[in-house]
Amino acid sequence: MHDIEPFYNWRNLYQAEYDERSPFYGREYSTNEYTNKIYNYLIHPQWDSINSETLYVKILFIDYHKHFAIIEMLGEWNDAIGNDIMHLKRNVIDELLYQGIKYFILIGENVLNFHSSDDSYYEEWLAELENFGWIVLLNFRQHVLDEMKQAYLDRYLFWYEYMQNAQWRKTTPHILFKLISEYIKHNHLLSE
């Protein structure tokens, strides 16, 4: 796991550690010292801790004017034991909501497992999205999505079959956001 880096091609567009409005503002990263780990596996030092033992994130891009954030995730999303949704919600999402973010794209190709608990933090998150905001899961593994669906989280999180193999690295953050927004509007999944 130590060689799985967060996506870096958008770093010329955005870096959370230099964004005063980001929950990760002021963070300093080592290029060769590996201290964070998931279970007994060291992970790349560019991932950001949310105070979970099993789930790390990287804010890849934020546009405050268009109110969207793109967040890449790594590890095991474990609500049952570690209450990871609480850590994500309280340590990252709440701060972004305060800054006016209402559209969230979560990239989960490096989320290896999901274990559910209750849905109260998901319900709270969706309720706090003003003016028909949304939370979209992109490139999550099928067994993770199946577990989320069994926990009825598809009431709060949106995922679409065609988006689970999206070539998001080959585009820009704004084009990715536009494609997802248009898909949601076109399919009348949310009305404005």
Q: Nearest-CA neighbor of 7 among 105, 135, 143, 115?
A: 105
In this structure, is residue 130 part of a structural domain? yes
Work out the pLDDT band at 191, boundaries 50, 70, 90: very low
User: Residue 54 falls within a domain, yes or no?
Assistant: no
The reply to whether 98 falls in a domain is yes
pLDDT at 190 over 60: no
DSSP letter at 158 equals B
Q: What is the pLDDT of residues 51-63, one digit of tens each?
A: 999 999 999 999 9
Query: Mapping DSSP to helix (H, G, I), strand (E, B) and coil, where does residue 37 land?
Result: strand
158 has a pLDDT exceeding 60: yes
What is the C-alpha separation between 10 and 53, in angstroms, rounded?
A: 27
CB atoms within 10 A of CB 37: 15
For the segment 123-148, what is each residue's pLDDT rounded down to a tens digit? 999 999 976 899 999 999 999 999 99
In a domain, 15, yes or no: no
Total domains in the chain come to 1
> How far is residue 47's CA from residue 119's CA, in Å, rounded to a whole number?
26
Mean pLDDT, residues 148-176: 91
pLDDT at position 164, please? 81
Q: Within a domain: residue 46?
A: no
Tell me the C-alpha distance between 125 and 152, whole Å.
15
Residue 72 lies in a domain: yes
pTM of the model: 0.94
For residue 36, being part of any structural domain is answered with: no
Supply the DSSP symbol for 3.
T
At position 101, the amino acid (one-letter code) is I
Find the domain containing 105 and state its range: 60-186
Q: Are 137 and 159 in contact (CB under 8 A)?
A: yes
Per-residue confidence (pLDDT) for residue 188, from 0 to 100: 55
Q: Is residue 135 part of a domain?
A: yes
Lowest average pLDDT, out of 18-27, 74-83, 176-185, goes to 176-185
Assign residue 116 the CATH number of its domain.
3.30.750.24
